[in-house]
Structure 1
């Protein structure tokens, strides 16, 4: 038994941290939350409404862990609480202190990366538990329980014959709303019809028509109204040549790179949000990257300085950026997602840590984005010609990289240069080509872009993004086709009832406002009990009205053009309760229990007819 005990959330961190703290400290894991919100009391909500306190009870699955932690900390002189540095981590820390009864001997330590330097620095600079963060998490948990339980129960009464049990949630319903609203935008979209004209000088040299003055479409000087395009083509063909009227050389620097915050990592990675989340957590626990559940893009001064030295030594001082782009997130003082060691290149990390393909890909994505953010931006030289045919103007251009900057990491290709022309040169045009085009509807969300939008409108938090998307998929409110999200009829019906019944709760503005209120609670600027009381009074009144006004909808069953071989009734598609897998069953259920597998028509799960 050690005099010092450190408690971390994940068991995967134990071995790495134990190596850094030595034998003087015993490192143990609580494996996440040890307490859970009760389902007893008023409305089975597990809330003390008189004092606005969540009623927390020991998680039955953590009984052995709690017992082991109590035994390990009973005689310890000091207990270091090293749970994750966010609101959930602070709540877990608070529950550990009260459950283990270590109020007089705990120290709260926080770290953004699992390295020897970070762990030692955290141990040497302990804190007390931040009660404001704990209060913010309490409020969030109670809000989510009330909205989730009450609205889910209402939807279960109002929507029948559903493929899964209907549910609602403060954040999940806004995620569903975004997908449904986007589908409505696509359905209502009316394309703008326009044309473009290209001058084909040779097979490899083309020029684009543009309006020098008075464009047909505001802000788009290469778009031509279709009724005007044919007239312009006819005029151009009277004299199929272009005269070089101007030539300019200019320089442009590429945009600075911003390091990853979690939502952008989800958007840019090629894998699903759940896979990215798991991979990033593994890399963090292995000590390879900083804490991944972050809404910040700033990097610590010490890391930036080391990275600058690395870049200068490897590529030259001219490759070091003079300015770094990044900002602090609204939740806590996290850093961007970055490698913990700039000298641990993706190739080296993959080799030394035996990373699988997914983890290797995610690490490289993070490493490359980070180092590019600390490197000088590339510079291009742009060559642009302006050409003329009477009052009609064309242009053509190319650019070449004159300083590669961070392109040395990402790579680049130079366009093939145009021939050198002089002002006044006449170029014969082989063909003036008209292409009819139309604008496209907005793109459907994929998992990454949905999460990025939730983050942009300040709905939800980094720790919940991936689970939010998984919920609306698992509930069968949305389905993924070719990587994009489509709302199902089931999801659309549930959302319509939620929005119509709770217009002041089920909207982006209100949900973002709640996040702002929770931020104020976490900063000690707002009393969470007053926040909860105000919410409860308004929500309860709204719930009573909605319960009376929302009508019941029975979803139609998807039928097959086939009769049941058992009883002759129509066959329909149904879903398993556990995994929501689609199968074929009899519409006469429960009188007839005939079902069969969709993929293997010969395979039947069971076949039983109830006795009469």
Structure 2
């Protein structure tokens, strides 16, 4: 029977525990002897106390008890149960965690914080932006029975103060030394470095630690310019260790924010508090988005015939236009008020003394940011498209904008586009700053700047000479006005934020609002609409003349009544989404808006909102960084597996990584066993973070990769967090897109235990064979860097034998080029080749021609991508897999470890959309290719070709979290073209048969000479032009070619000894051990003397173990385990017998060699 033990997994003592105990949620058998069963956490606590074995479980118990206590107080003072989102916050508050409460107004942030400050019963500082809000907070706290001080500074009280008051009485508030600090609006403390320093001191952060954090931020910025600076990296690690040793003693809570910390001091504070204040969330939206052609406010007033509106005037019209509109509205019998500053206008609006508020369409304006009146505010009217206006002269200091406008004017910008594309973000910012300030640059940036200035001059020349009045791009508009040019960019953030004022929360329901845009520029409306469609699902502007405005008005009114079915009900759930890589975590978080960020035990966690049907998922996303456990190398059993009585107990340890040498190990140590460094990270930190987060949420979705390795990662995660949350689901996606993630969540399932078992067997087999062979090789050759494995053995044998044949048949190769077709001839000695060249006589006859209809190739699988990338682009398999991983994690291609050619209906529709956009409708021929299975072929996730991708990177520089290289673009282009071609009609190929006479020797060849139509438009095949005009090239070489990456991968697939996940790893392992080297020019694989000796030794003593046939049979057994067709215990028993027998042979072989 196979059982998994985790050497560090017990939730109480941190020692070894089996998966059965973890699944039941109870500590290990040492802490809690007896039968395994599900028990309530209180019962477990009592039993541990009774057994005198209580350790780490106490913290979990007390956190739960604190949560229950806060909920009891909440019910007592508020009169009802906390909502789901409030319970999520309370769970975090109960652990004394510092964090930002992220939610729209109306979801109970303030109420939760007031109840918690009441519970806290210690010196508290509650910071608010205005005096009116201070009075409201004080009154509510007094009504709850709290000890409140609203003017004087008092210990053991809840001190409520504006930040301005704190700045005036700075010393008093620092000496107060509060234990809890609550900030209603973090913009107050992030405005400047000075205000940030004030808050740092109130939070008890010493000057020394604050300066460490500032130094850390500076060094990380420098590192972006020199990523290979090892000394700089070590300094960063040292500072992180110093900062990590500091523990905050003040709990810090932030209720809302709109600014992101950009200054160095603000970022230092963020580093120390462990979270980034989150921006206002806009995920709750129940709005009719309408537009009216023109800016006739009176026409709109006639259509609405109602009060309760907010009129927002586009910024370029200024205050004068606001006053003009105020007068027009008042003449129609409505009272108005200007929402420009202060709060008095809001009170009057709430009381019904004002019918319409008028303000500026500015994101930071009080009318957009500070207005919250859910019952009265039904309409938001935009006078003009909300927009940002820039003088073109200033706008052309942005390198991306220079390129985009240059393109619109048909100026050649291809070269500079490519150069900008491959700049790092810091390099781009330096270039932009230099253009703005006319600062001197050097090196490549100087050359790029000179080119950009030349393009700027050409732009001005074309604009003036051609008298151009308007230029429309995808994201902006350029117009001429009285001889001046301006760039207009629709302000999507302001539109979302401002229109959202009309749809707010009342009694856990969402009111219905109406947004109306008075269109002053139809082009800008189109751009705004396209941008909003990328942010808001199913967004669409509707013409106000084509909707039933009475029905919409009725809905807006009825949704504001206390009891109504017209309110959109709010269903909120909190989830933890666990992925493998940090890039993937950031990409998914960004798909659903702009996430907030915090750190849990030093691990980044992104909080975002995912809408699934009518459910709102408050989603925390964290990355495991791959496997969090591996078979231990501690002295346990047979290389980490206890074997006996038909039982196999596999022990898994955390994975340790050395910051200095980069190596990983699974033996507990305070220093690196390879280099002795003390700077070591452990996956235990990740496990601790996962466990902490799992206690806070309703459900957990494990989204590791959809393969055997991913399933084992999912299993390890599930086991290690089971004691803290039972609502664990496995989700799988094959593309990181919005739809891909949503479909995965809708189809959540359970972990496939057959896949898990197959991976464990594969890992045990790899460990047993690898360690036995490595031990023998090291003993034989007295060198540490020796190793082998089941799959590596056959591959090494191919490369060794081919290298030997290559050397045996070494001589001179003559290349005779006939047009673009080449013929090779081999000669042992150079003189023979030279004689042959001297009398060279060539005659070519065209014998016949035939035409053939040729179907396109299927889309790529892993092996075909690796082969094509090498053959067409000369890129090795390891680099291709790294790039494919980047492209997958960035949401650009589907999962890249696959042996399926199947294309889904969505994939087919992507190809159709692309071909239609290129007016190639007639060439489309949709094909699903292989049978539908677990995976799909490698394909793009959208109809964006390479040129469009480059444009997307330019338009959205913060969208992707990888640094693109020319190789990324080439691989993407290869995948894209191959896929599109697979969905096109066949091409017509002309094959020509030639009779070639070389010095009288006859040779017949048939070659493709023409191709037309069908898929060849996108993915042309190679054709040849054969000519009697020839050229020759003589070089040293062999008639037996060395293996290429592509050929090895092809062999592995055909002989069934590899899998998509192991193709590249196998070759790289042989190179790492020094058995194989890669030729510099053509990346051919050559066996070294070390490799040849290792192969000969293994062949002599254990050829069966590394034979192709045995390797194939074992992999087939592992596949059968994955399919549930074979009992895992039988396979392990056979494997153990086989390897122990071989181990004996190896020992005997070594003894013989020693005696000799």
**Shorter-chain TM-score: which interval?**
0.7 to 0.9
Match of 1:567 in 2: none
Give the Cα–Cα distance (whole angstroms) in 1 for the partners of residues 654 and 748 of structure 2.
27
1:186 equivalent in structure 2: 806
Corresponding residue number in structure 2 for 1:90? 711
Q: Output the CA distance in 1 between the equivalents of 2:1004 and 2:1067.
A: 45
Contact 2:907 2:939 survives alignment (8 Å): no
Map 1:167-316 → 2, pairs under 5 A: 167-187=787-807, 250-269=850-869, 270-312=874-916, 314-316=918-920
**In the alignment, what sits opposite 1:26?**
620
Which residue does 1:336 correspond to in 2?
A: 937
* TM-aligned CA deviation for residue 524 of structure 1: 0.2
Match of 2:1112 in 1: 512
The SS at the match of 1:353 is helix
What residue is the counterpart of 1:104 in the other structure? 726
Aligned residue in 2 for 1:454: 1052
- For residues 20-76 of structure 1, the C-alpha deviation after alignment (integer angstroms, 9 at most, x for no partner) is 353622111121111121113456611121322321123341122211111111132
Report the Cα offset of residue 497 of structure 1. Answer: 1.2
Match of 2:696 in 1: 75
1:153 aligns with 2:775: yes
- Aligned length, in residue pairs: 500
Aligned residues of 1:259 and 1:326 also touching (Cα < 8 A): no
Q: Is the 8 A contact 1:378 1:405 kept in 2?
A: yes
The whole-number CA distance in structure 2 between the counterparts of 1:513 and 1:115 is 38
* Equivalent-residue separation in structure 1 for 2:966 and 2:1149 (angstroms): 53
SS in 2 for 1:32: coil
Q: Deviations over 1:449-490 (max 9, x none)?
A: 323322332223222322222221121111112311111111
Deviation digits for residues 514-557 of structure 1 (CA, Å, limit 9, x no counterpart)? 11111000000001111011111122112212321247879xxx
| Cα distance per residue 1:402-436 (max 9 Å; x no partner) | 73222212347876799xxxxxxxxxxx99xxxxx
Question: Is 2:855–2:985's contact at 8 Å kept on the other side of the alignment?
Answer: no
Asked if residue 14 in structure 1 is aligned to residue 620 in structure 2, the reply is no
1:325, distance to aligned residue in structure 2 (A): 4.4
Question: Is 2:126 the partner of 1:126?
Answer: no
> 2:843, 2:734 → 1: CA distance?
64
Question: Shift of the alpha carbon at 1:401?
Answer: 4.0
Distance 1:14 1:154, change over 3 A: same
Q: 1:552 to 1:376 in 2, by over 3 A?
A: farther
Q: 1:411 to 1:447 in 2, by over 3 A?
A: closer
| Corresponding residue for residue 493 of structure 1 | 1093
- Match of 2:852, SS state, is strand
State the Cα deviation string for residues 305-326 of structure 1 (Å, max 9, x = none).
3313432552434422365644
Q: CA deviation at 1:385?
A: 8.8
Could you say which residue in structure 2 is the equivalent of 1:425? none
CA deviations over 1:73-100 (Å, ceiling 9, x no partner): 1132110111110001000101111101
Counterpart of 1:54 in structure 2 is 650
8 Å Cα contact 2:903-2:927 kept in structure 1: no
Give the equivalent residue in structure 1 for 2:761: 139
Of the candidates 377, 394, 397, which is equivalent to residue 986 of structure 2? 377
Instruction: Note the C-alpha offset of 1:273.
Output: 2.1
The whole-number CA distance in structure 1 between the counterparts of 2:705 and 2:636 is 32
Does the aligned pair in 2 maintain the 1:446–1:485 contact within 8 Å?
A: yes
Q: Which residue of 2 aligns with 1:361?
A: 970
Distance 2:1100 2:739 in 1: 54
CA distance in 2 between counterparts of 1:383 and 1:263 reads 31
Provide closer, same or farther for how the CA distance between residues 75 and 503 of structure 1 changes in structure 2, counting only shifts above 3 A.
same
Distance 2:721 2:786 in 1: 38
State the secondary structure of the residue aligned to 2:894.
coil
**Equivalence for 2:379:** none
Contact kept, 8 Å, 1:346 with 1:364, in 2: the verdict is: yes
How far did 1:190 drift?
Answer: 10
Asked whether the equivalents of residues 34 and 92 of structure 1 are also in contact (C-alpha less than 8 Å), the reply is: yes
Q: Secondary structure at the match of 1:299?
A: coil
Which whole-Å deviations, capped at 9, do the CAs of 1:548-568 have from their partners, x for residues lacking one? 1247879xxxxxxxxxxxxxx
Work out whether 1:117 is the aligned partner of 2:739. Answer: yes
Deviation of residue 350 (structure 1)? Answer: 2.4
Contact 1:312/1:319, CA 8 A, preserved across alignment:
no
Q: Secondary structure of 2:729's partner?
A: strand
TM-score, normalized by length of structure 1? 0.72
Mapped pair 1:405 → 2:1014:
yes
Deviation of 1:340 (Å): 0.5
1:345–1:540 distance in 2 versus 1, CA, 3 Å: same
> How far 1:345 moved relative to its partner?
0.7
- In 2: Cα distance, 1:530 partner to 1:180 partner: 34
Q: Which residue of 2 aligns with 1:604?
A: none
1:288, distance to aligned residue in structure 2 (A)? 0.2
For residue 949 of structure 2, give the secondary structure of its aligned residue in structure 1.
helix
Q: Distance in 1 between matches of 2:630 and 2:994?
A: 68
Gap change, CA 1:351 and 1:463, over 3 Å in 2: same
The residue that corresponds to 1:36 in the other structure is: 630
Query: Relative to 1, partners in 2 of residues 1:324 and 1:254: Cα closer, same or farther, differing over 3 Å?
Result: farther
What is the CA-CA distance between 1:252 and the residue it aligns to? Answer: 1.1
Q: Residue 927 of structure 2 contacts residue 982 of structure 2 at CA under 8 Å; is this kept in 1?
A: no
Specify which structure has the bigger relative contact order, considering alpha-carbon pairs within 8 angstroms and separated by 6 or more residues: 1
Equivalent-residue separation in structure 1 for 2:798 and 2:912 (angstroms): 41
**Is 1:537 aligned to residue 1137 of structure 2?**
yes
Listed as ranges, the gaps of 5+ residues in structure 2 are: 1-87, 89-572, 593-608, 611-616, 657-681, 824-835, 955-963, 1030-1036
Q: 1:372 to 1:402 in 2, by over 3 A?
A: closer
Q: Of the candidates 576, 600, 603, which is equivalent to residue 5 of structure 1?
A: 576
1-structure distance, mates of 2:790, 2:1007: 50
Q: CA–CA distance in 2 between the matches of 1:387 and 1:141?
A: 55
Is the 8 Å Cα contact of residues 497 and 550 (structure 1) preserved in structure 2? no
* Secondary structure class of the residue paired with 2:701: strand
Question: Offset of 1:446 from its aligned partner?
Answer: 2.6
Seen in structure 2, the aligned counterparts of structure 1 residues 3 and 394 have a Cα distance that, compared at 3 Å, is: closer
Structure 1 SS opposite 2:886: helix
CA RMSD in angstroms comes to 4.1
CA distance in 2, matches of 1:544, 1:385: 61
